[in-house]
């Protein structure tokens, strides 16, 4: 049985990660800002017993991230940096500094801090430890154009991708696999109803990719189908 830690586990991709991992027999530490208010997550916890642990975590709070390892109930084999936010439509001439800073804090900085905080625990595992940063094709500089889905979101995912590349060799030296993984355009609150993928399809694909990861993959930018994306 593998233990996953999932951030942003109360809805969307995070919640579907929890569902599928429990269904296949893994255990999960599910983190979100207000687990007491996460009805669907709590319903899963009622049936999962000790295989699902709910922990409060605001990934925008660096102190909370630093304190997280001391609150964990045991080993962690796979960290999935899933929590993310997007700004409302951003129009040139009306960019807001506070909004941009928050998107970068949650989407780019928090995954790096979480990876740093949990790597000592991941290093101790006998099986292949892994860190997965949920990114987006909108973080691809090669494919970027216009203000599609806003400015801040694309910037934040490009910064996250750079973080994965910069940490790749350090984590490989420590025996930890690390990749950036694009879930596809998914029908979530963020992706919208017009998206092309159901959460079930996206997570099923990503888990297939995650299961096969090793340190030979460190620093790669992959789709949920395992295909390589251009930076």
**Interatomic CA distance for residues 88 and 99, integer angstroms:** 9
Q: Where are the domains of the chain?
A: 3-223
Q: What is the pLDDT of residue 194?
A: 85
Per-residue model confidence as pLDDT tens for the chain (231 residues): 899 999 999 999 999 999 999 999 999 999 999 999 999 999 999 999 999 999 999 999 999 999 999 999 888 999 999 999 999 889 999 999 999 999 999 999 999 999 999 999 999 887 899 999 999 999 999 999 888 778 999 999 999 999 999 999 999 999 999 999 999 999 988 888 888 899 999 999 999 999 999 999 999 999 999 999 999
pLDDT tens digit sequence for 87-133: 988 999 999 999 999 999 999 999 999 999 999 999 988 789 999 99
d(CA 130, CA 63): 23
The class of domain 3-223 in CATH terms is alpha beta
Task: Give pLDDT, residue 97.
Answer: 97
CB burial of 77-101 (b: ≥16 within 10 Å; e: otherwise) equals bbbbbbbbbbbeebeeeeeeeebbe
Q: Return the SS3 of 53.
A: strand
pTM: 0.97
pLDDT computed for residue 190 by the predictor: 83
């Amino acid at each position: 049985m593998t233990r996953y830690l999932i951030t942003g586990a109360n809805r969307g991709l995070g919640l579907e990660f929890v569902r599928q991992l429990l269904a296949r027999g893994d255990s999960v530490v599910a983190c979100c800002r207000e687990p007491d208010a996460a009805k669907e997550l709590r319903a899963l916890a009622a049936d999962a017993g000790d295989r699902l642990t709910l922990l409060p975590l605001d990934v925008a709070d660096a102190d909370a991230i630093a304190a997280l390892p001391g609150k964990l109930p045991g080993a962690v084999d796979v960290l999935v940096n899933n929590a993310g936010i997007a700004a409302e439509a951003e129009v040139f001439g009306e960019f807001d500094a506070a909004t941009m800073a928050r998107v970068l804090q949650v989407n780019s900085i928090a995954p790096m801090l979480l990876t740093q905080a949990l790597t000592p625990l991941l290093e101790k595992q006998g099986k292949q430890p892994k860190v997965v940063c949920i990114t987006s094709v909108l973080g691809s500089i090669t494919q970027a154009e216009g203000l599609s889905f806003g400015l801040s979101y694309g910037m934040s995912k490009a910064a996250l991708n750079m973080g994965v590349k910069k940490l790749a060799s350090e984590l490989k030296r420590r025996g930890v696999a690390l990749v950036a993984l694009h879930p596809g355009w998914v029908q979530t609150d963020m992706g919208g109803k017009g998206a092309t993928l159901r959460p079930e399809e996206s997570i099923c694909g990503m888990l297939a990719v995650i299961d096969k990861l090793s340190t030979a993959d460190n620093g790669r930018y992959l789709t949920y189908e395992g295909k390589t994306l251009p930076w």
